[in-house]
Amino acid sequence: MITQSVWKDIIINMNRKIIEILKMLMLAIVLILVFVAYKKSNSNSGGDYVYQTVYDFAMGTSMQVTIYGNKDKSFKPDDIVDKIKELDEKLISWRSEKSELYKLNHEYKVGEPYYISYGLMKPLMDSAVLSVDSFGALDLTIRPLANLWNIEEATSENFTVPTDKQIKEALKYVDYKAVDEVMYEHDNYVVFDKEGMMLDLGATGKGYALDVAYEMLTEHNISGAMVSVGGSILIYGTKDSYKKEDNTWKVGIRDPKGSQEDLIGYLEYPCEKGFSKYISTSGSYEKYIEKDGVIYHHIFDSKTGYPASSGLASVTVVCDNGLKSDGLSTACFVLGYDKSKELLRHYNAEAVFIDEDNNVTVTDGLKDIYKDNK
């Protein structure tokens, strides 16, 4: 005979099971809705119009590629992602043992020409010119100093501030003037004047990847696209028939004192056929380590051997070339606002400077483009 207390236990257990089943159903519904929303945000098509977005990781940072108005169904955002990964791993990475730059850094002999491909020579030459024009504020030989500090890999637990003696020793191998790049029609070679030097395209490589992406977009007659590799962004063309009311490109500028999603302002350009701009940001908030109450960031001044201290928190540079926008943002961060003005004029570039107190200074060419987010 089932007593009243036994019935009570049975009913309670049944209610618990029903609640668990309902929870599982609700979770399943939420997951389905999230999946549908994700698919909707990453792919949309209608008629001749297609827009697609992919997210990935390359060159040690996050990547996003969105293409609009693509009538060439054989070309996808993944093609750009794959090309940039190949560019990094086989050509310009100082980390990848398979890359041409890695082999150059580890196989060269002082005073002897080391032959390389045009694919590597082009970014090296442009980075070398930037190094000269900025008087070493951007220095493509910075790697020995960066390796000493190791801010890219270290943690706050194992990080040690280098001694003045160690910094002075590392600076012996940081000298853009001690590298000679010669490019002929058929032969390209690099000559080092010192042992222990290393070339590093970390400050220009992401921008160069955007230049490569641009070539792919034009080759396949893509109507419009936005490509971002870390802090470097390419906006290209028009969004075609996507949302008639959304006829501008908006590129946010992060608030150095806020989280990753917090914007201090943004740049707004009209969507137009044939239009393109490269926008790169360098900031002390990107990679840093705090040790004993002091913050050490990853942008180094090759003259002092320490993280740059120009009073700036970030610099965003806009110009018509990806490699140059990337390199200029680093150089201007090291130089500071006043010393950057002539360099920007030389490259016909514009910039947004944010100092350590979050004061914003915009060059004349961006007065109507920059919008405050307050």
Range 308-330 burial, b when 16+ CB lie within 10 A, else e: bebebbbbbbbbebbbbbbbbbb
| Integer Cα distance of 138 and 300 in angstroms | 9
pLDDT per position as a tens digit, 74-126: 889 999 999 999 999 999 999 999 999 999 999 999 999 999 999 999 999 99
Q: What share of the chain is helix, strand, coil (3-state, %, to 5)?
A: 40, 25, 35
Parallel/antiparallel/unpaired status of strands 224-229 and 232-237:
antiparallel
- Residue 155 pLDDT: 85
Helices (H), the chain: 4-42, 77-87, 100-107, 118-133, 143-149, 164-170, 205-219, 322-335, 337-346
Longest Cα–Cα distance of the chain, Å, equals 100
User: Is 198 strand, coil or helix?
Assistant: coil
- What is the reported pLDDT for 44? 56
Taken in order 294, 298, 304, 308, is the CA torsion positive or negative?
Answer: negative
Q: What is the DSSP letter of 310?
A: S
pLDDT of 157 reads: 85
Task: Calculate helix-pair angle for 205-219, 322-335, nearest 10 degrees.
Answer: 160
What whole-number distance in Å separates Cα of residue 207 and Cα of residue 84? 11
Q: Which of 326, 352, 90, 331 is nearest to 210 (CA)?
A: 326
Contact (CB, 8 A) for 326 and 204: yes
- Residue 247 has a pLDDT of 81
Cβ burial of 147 (10 Å; 0-12, 13-18, 19+) is middle
Q: Using CA atoms, how far apart are residues 67 and 62, in angstroms rounded to an integer?
A: 17
DSSP H or E segment with residue 237: strand 232-237
Q: In this predicted structure, what is the pLDDT of residue 353? A: 98
Query: Closest Cα to residue 84, out of 205, 190, 251, 192?
Result: 205
**Cα–Cα distance for residue pair 218/80, rounded to 1 Å:** 12
Regions of the chain with pLDDT less than 70? 1-50, 70-72, 184-186, 240-245, 374
Quote the tokens at residue 11: 């009913």
